[in-house]
A = this chain, B = another copy of it.
Amino acid sequence: MLGNFGYCNPTRLYFGDNSLKYLNRELKKYGPNILLTYGGGSIKKNGIYDEILQALEMNDKNVIELPGVMSNPTVHKLYEGCALAKEHDIDLILAVGGGSVCDYAKALSVSARCEEDPWDRYYIRQERPNNEIIPVGCILTMVGTGSEMNGGSVITHPEQKLKIGHVFGDDVMPKFSILNPTYTLTVPRYQMVAGFFDIMSHILEQYLSGEDDNTTDYIAEGLMKSLIHSTRIAAKNPEDYEARSNIMWTATWALNTLLSRGKTTDWEVHMIGQAVGAVTDATHGMTLAAVSLPYYRFILKDGLAKFRRFAVNVWDVDPTGKSDEAVAKAGLKALEGWMKEIGVVMHLRELGVEESMYDAIADGTFLLKGGYRQLSREDVIEILKQSM
């Protein structure tokens, strides 16, 4: 059954190969001081940086640059941004990059004017902002996290070995996001494929929860079928604009809150994956890929009806003459085939995980209640073993 819920997603999107031109329109809505944040500087090689600076200059903006956002943005980088934002009177945070940069921009938007330690308030205690929120705009160059149209923000505390997400409300969602599929064409294959699995995981972790048969599940199935179709094309030919644009659009809808409306969600794969990321600094999507199949096989009997539906509706498994369990297992086998086809990491050891890390990963794994089975700490260690 579709439970009671609220829905509001005010982010304005500009999608397409001409979408950067709308930055001009958006910049007019904000004051003069723009904090421009980005990652390792690849945007300087492919020309995106120059185009953005030109738009900022045309609009007489003061640009305060904050480069060097890492793939798992740290709390120390957040403190650096807060100091910079306090020094200047920032009117808009403009994030250029993938999910990490967008996540970081949102963390900064609620933290810059926060009176207490934002790590404690937002990530440890999961409290709401009670201070002014600086508006955020995103220019996406990598696909996967959906951060361009949601209030999510994951930050890592390296010393505490914690990687924690906070899903903020619609007041923290980006005011606008520019989605140009051509920007994603130059992303290295490893990151591209990791993004593909991140998208699948976002859909799966919302879909594979609850007993109920509702509209949301049907939308999720449509998105998964689209994703499987387009990633197969993109894995063969990463330059295929049509496939990459469909994947970009699917990624947005995979995690812009629609798929969680009125239903329970799981998110345990993200919890384990994030704990792996906190210990190893491995690429997010690959941590999810390495633990997904062992996790789903571990809980398959607890959510048998939904796993069976997944097999039939998403992978076209013919159920005739098969037990529900056999059908459900065939669905996961098909998922495994697709994962190998697109080339994700299938084992934690490839990400640098060693047995000696099990305890730290298990300690960093939040045990949630939305899945088909409530995991124990021992279960997490068992799943880690099976993921090696």
Asked whether any CB of chain B lies closer than 8 Å to the CB of A241, the reply is yes
> Does A59 make an interface contact (CB < 8 A)?
no
Whether the pair A262, B15 counts as a contact (CB closer than 8 A) is: yes
- Interface range, A side: 35 or more
Contact B213 A229 (CB under 8 A): yes
CA distance A14 to B5 in the complex (A): 6
Interface residues of A in 142-190 (CB under 8 A from B): none
User: Residues of B contacting A234 with CB < 8 Å?
Assistant: none
The answer to whether the Cβ of A323 comes within 8 Å of any Cβ in the partner chain is no
Known: A222-B221, A246-B214, A250-B215. A10 touches B10 (CB 8 A): yes
B residues within 8 A CB of A4?
Answer: 15-19
Q: For residue A15, which residues in chain B have a CB less than 8 angstroms away from its CB?
A: 2, 4-7, 261-262
CB pair A13 B6 closer than 8 Å: yes
* Contact flag A1-B242 (CB < 8 Å), given A7-B15, A12-B7, A261-B15: yes
In this assembly, does A249 line the interface, its C-beta being within 8 Å of a C-beta of chain B?
A: yes
- Kindly list chain B residues whose C-beta atoms are within 8 Å of the C-beta of A12: 6-8
A242–B19 CB distance below 8 A = no
Known: A1-B242, A219-B222, A225-B218. A13 touches B19 (CB 8 A): no
How distant is the Cα of A229 from the Cα of B17 in the complex, in angstroms? 38
* Distance A20 CA – B19 CA, assembled complex (angstroms): 39
Contacts of A225 on B, CB cut-off 8 Å?
Answer: 218, 221
Partner of A2, one of B3, B216, B222, B245: B245
Given contacts A2-B15, A6-B15, 12 further A-B contacts (CB under 8 A): A1-B242, A4-B17, A6-B22, A7-B13, A7-B15, A10-B10, A15-B261, A213-B229, A214-B246, A215-B253, A222-B222, A249-B262
User: CB-nearest residue of chain B relative to A248?
Assistant: B2
Of all chain B residues, which has the CB nearest A242?
A: B1
A194 at interface by CB-CB < 8 Å: no
- Binary interface encoding of chain A residues 90-111 relative to chain B, with 1 for a CB under 8 A from any of its CBs, else 0: 0000000000000000000000
Chain B nearest CB, measured from A267 CB (Å):
22
Q: Is A226 an interface residue (CB 8 A)?
A: yes
Cβ of A220 under 8 Å from chain B: yes
Point out residues on A near B: beta carbons under 8 Å. 1-19, 22, 212-223, 225-226, 229-230, 241-242, 245-246, 249-250, 253, 261-262
A219-B222, A219-B253, A250-B215 known; A8 vs B11 contact (CB < 8 Å): yes
Closest to A217 in B: B226
B249 touches A215 (CB 8 A): yes
Closest to A226 in B: B218
* A217 vs B215: C-alpha distance when bound (angstroms): 16
Q: Which of B14, B18, B220, B262 contacts A222 (CB 8 A)?
A: B220
Chain B nearest CB: distance from A222 CB in Å? 3
Closest chain B CB from A198 CB (angstroms): 16
Choose among B5, B215, B226, B245 the residue that contacts A226 (Cβ–Cβ < 8 A).
B215
Flag if B218 contacts A223 (CB, 8 Å).
yes
Closest 7 CB pairs of A and B: A4-B16, A222-B222, A218-B226, A218-B222, A8-B12, A10-B10, A7-B13
Inter-subunit contact B1/A16 (CB<8 Å):
no
Instruction: Decide if A14 touches B19 in the complex (CB within 8 Å).
Output: no
Name the B residues within 8 Å of A250 (CB-CB): 215
Q: Kindly list chain B residues whose C-beta atoms are within 8 Å of the C-beta of A230.
A: 215
Q: Which of B8, B212, B214, B245 contacts A13 (CB 8 A)?
A: B8
Is the beta-carbon distance between A246 and B8 smaller than 8 angstroms? no
